Every structure is written in C-alpha cells, then in structure tokens.
Amino acid sequence: MASRLCAGAARLCVAASRQRTQVAGLRTGGKVGKEYAPVPAGLANRMKVFQLPNNLPVHIKGGPIDKLLYLVTAIVCTVGVLECFHVYYVLSYPAKKD
C-alpha cells in the first residue's frame, strides 16, 4: 500500500516538473535556462586581474589601494579589541569614591 502511494506521488511530481519545463520553454521561445547580460569590458579586465595565479591573497591583488585599506582595517580592528579590554578593566576595577 505504501509503495503504491509513493509511486503515485512520484508520478505526480514527474508530471508537474514536465509541465513546468514545457511552460518555461514556451515562455522563453524554446530556451530553458537563464540568460545574463554581457559583462562590461572594465569589469572583465578587473576579473582577469583577480584571477591571475600570482600567489597573492585576494585582499592585496588590487594594488596599493587594497594594501592601504587592509592596513586601515587591521588598525581599526586592533584598536577596537584594545578598547574592549580597556572597558573590561574599567568595569572590573571601578574608581574608588572618597
């Protein structure tokens, strides 16, 4: 009994997927799938730069601007961690009131 139910459910799923595929084919003029817009030339060149096998991490492949941004981000993160420890210290040892 259970195998008959599973077989019937499988047939329904297959029929439904065939219908969806046929309807999609009618809507797209026989083509089933996604079509994408062409990639602009400037973006294609940038993509080639980042895909070069030059053993550089991706956050440095963009040149000196990326190095600067990485350095600034590292400094801000370090200062943030130090400030967290400073806050923990101040909260752990509050100033004594006279």
In a structure prediction context, what are the per-residue pLDDT tens digits for the chain, which is 98 residues long? 666 666 666 676 666 666 655 555 555 555 666 788 899 999 999 889 888 888 888 878 888 998 899 999 999 999 999 999 999 999 999 888 86
Is the Cβ–Cβ distance between 58 and 46 less than 8 Å?
no
Strand segments, DSSP code E, in the chain are none
The domain segmentation of the chain, as residue ranges, is 46-98
| Secondary structure letter of residue 32 according to DSSP | -
- Is the pTM higher than 0.85? no
Question: What CATH number belongs to 46-98?
Answer: 4.10.91.10
Give the model's pLDDT for residue 68.
93
Give the model's pLDDT for residue 21.
57
Residues whose CB falls within 8 Å of the CB of residue 32, separated by 6 or more in sequence, listed in order? 21, 24, 25
Residues whose CB falls within 8 Å of the CB of residue 52, separated by 6 or more in sequence, listed in order? 61
